[in-house]
Structure 1
Amino acid sequence: MQFEHLGARPRIHPDAVVAPTAVVSGDVTIGAGCQVLHGAVLTAEGGPVTLGEHVIVMENALVRATSAHAVRIGDHTLIGTLASVAGATLAEEVFLASGARVFNGARLGRGCEVRINAIVLRQTVLAEGTVVPIGWVAVGDPARLFSPDRYEQIGAAQPELDFPGYVFGVDRETPDLMVQLTERYAISLARHADDRRVD
């Protein structure tokens, strides 16, 4: 399903294949030879999503751009089932295994691998060829890799873990943080009320 969002329609190369149950919304460009499988969602929430050539987005994966962070996926990249990319840049020949998560502002170099259920935190930079092992967490610029049981070291490696401020523009110390966050986010998401299906 394709939707016009904020006046922008998806642009899909005629050689690309998008499954009928995939959702492609807004300013999304899909290059030649791409495959977007059933249940995948590619959504441009104020910023563009660009897939190069021969990118594969597997079942139920999520690729989401924001107004602050575009998404760029390099050629010959594979995004596995249930993986997600939010506002990040992936170079060519990157592999995200099932359940991998890549967050806002992250940049992955050519040939990186993020294995099953591994996480690349916000603003993290992976050098070319970096492998994040199964379930591990990558953080920082340059990235440091931690096993998931090293929670305190993961937190300490981040300059300021301010997810609400960085992603939503709400100060973490706001007394009614979740009220502010959800109300602001709801206003942003309400822009979908005027979306039109275009396929």
Structure 2
Amino acid sequence: MQFEHLGVSPRIHPDAVVAPTAVISGDVEIGPECRVLHGAVITSEGGPVTLGAHVIVMENALIRATATNAVHIGDHVLVGPMASVSGATIADEVFLATGTRIFNGARIGARSEVRINAVVHLRTTLPADTVVPIGWIAVGDPLQLLSPDRHEEIWEAQRELDFPGYVFGLDRETPDLMVQLTERYGRSLARHVDDRRID
């Protein structure tokens, strides 16, 4: 299913194959020989999404650009089932395994592997050829790779990256943080009210 969002329609190369149950919305460009499988969602929420050549987006994966962070995915990249990429830059020949989470402002270097259920946090840079082990967390620039049992170290690094401030423009210490966050984000997402299906 393809949708015009904010007056912009997806652009899909004629050699690409997009499953009929995938959702492609807004300023999305899908390059030659790409494959987008059932249930995948690729959506532009104010910024563009660009997929290079030979990108495979597997079942139920989510790729979302924001007004602050576009998404660029290079050539020969595999985005695994149920993986999530939000506002990140992915270089060529990268493997994002099942259930991986790539957050806003992250940069994944060429030939890197983010293995099953691993996380690349906000504004984190993976140099080329980096491997993030199964379930581990990559955080920061310079990069720290931390196992999930090291919660205090992960939290210390995350606090410095300021997720609510960077993504939503809100101070983490705001007493009604979730009230402000959901109302502000809800207003932004309401722009979908005028989306138009084009296929």
* Letter of the structure 1 residue corresponding to residue 55 of structure 2: V
Q: How many residues align?
A: 199
Alpha-carbon distance in structure 2 between the residues aligned to 1:24 and 1:125? 27
**Could you tell me how far 1:63 is from its partner in structure 2?**
0.1
Equivalent residue for 1:50?
Answer: 50
Runs of 4+ that moved beyond 4 A: none
**Could you tell me how far 1:161 is from its partner in structure 2?**
4.1
Equivalent residue for 2:193?
Answer: 193
Compare 152-161 and 19-28 and name the one that shifted more.
Answer: 152-161
Equivalent residue for 1:19?
Answer: 19
Could you say what the CA RMSD is over the residues aligned between the two structures, in angstroms?
0.8
Alpha-carbon distance in structure 2 between the residues aligned to 1:169 and 1:106? 18
1:140-161, CA deviations, whole angstroms, 9 ceiling, x for partnerless residues? 1121100000011112234614
Alpha-carbon distance in structure 2 between the residues aligned to 1:159 and 1:198? 42
- SS in structure 2 at match of 1:72: strand
Q: Percent identity between the aligned chains? A: 74
Alpha-carbon distance in structure 2 between the residues aligned to 1:155 and 1:177? 18
Equivalent residue for 1:175?
Answer: 175
Structure 2 runs not aligned, ≥5 long: none
Alpha-carbon distance in structure 2 between the residues aligned to 1:158 and 1:26? 31
Describe how 1:80-91 pairs up with structure 2 within 5 A. Answer: 80-91=80-91
Compare 140-149 and 35-44 and name the one that shifted more.
Answer: 140-149
Describe how 1:25-104 pairs up with structure 2 within 5 A. Answer: 25-104=25-104
Structure 1 runs not aligned, ≥5 long: none
**Could you tell me how far 1:129 is from its partner in structure 2?**
0.4
Alpha-carbon distance in structure 1 between the residues aligned to 2:120 and 2:159? 15
**Could you tell me how far 1:188 is from its partner in structure 2?**
0.3
Alpha-carbon distance in structure 1 between the residues aligned to 2:51 and 2:143? 24
Equivalent residue for 1:121?
Answer: 121
- SS in structure 2 at match of 1:160: helix
Alpha-carbon distance in structure 1 between the residues aligned to 2:86 and 2:36? 17
Structure 2 vs 1, CA of residues 85 and 109 (structure 1 numbering), >3 Å: closer, same or farther?
A: same
Alpha-carbon distance in structure 1 between the residues aligned to 2:159 and 2:58? 33
Q: Contact conserved, 1:54 with 1:76, CA < 8 A, in 2?
A: yes
* Letter of the structure 2 residue corresponding to residue 93 of structure 1: E
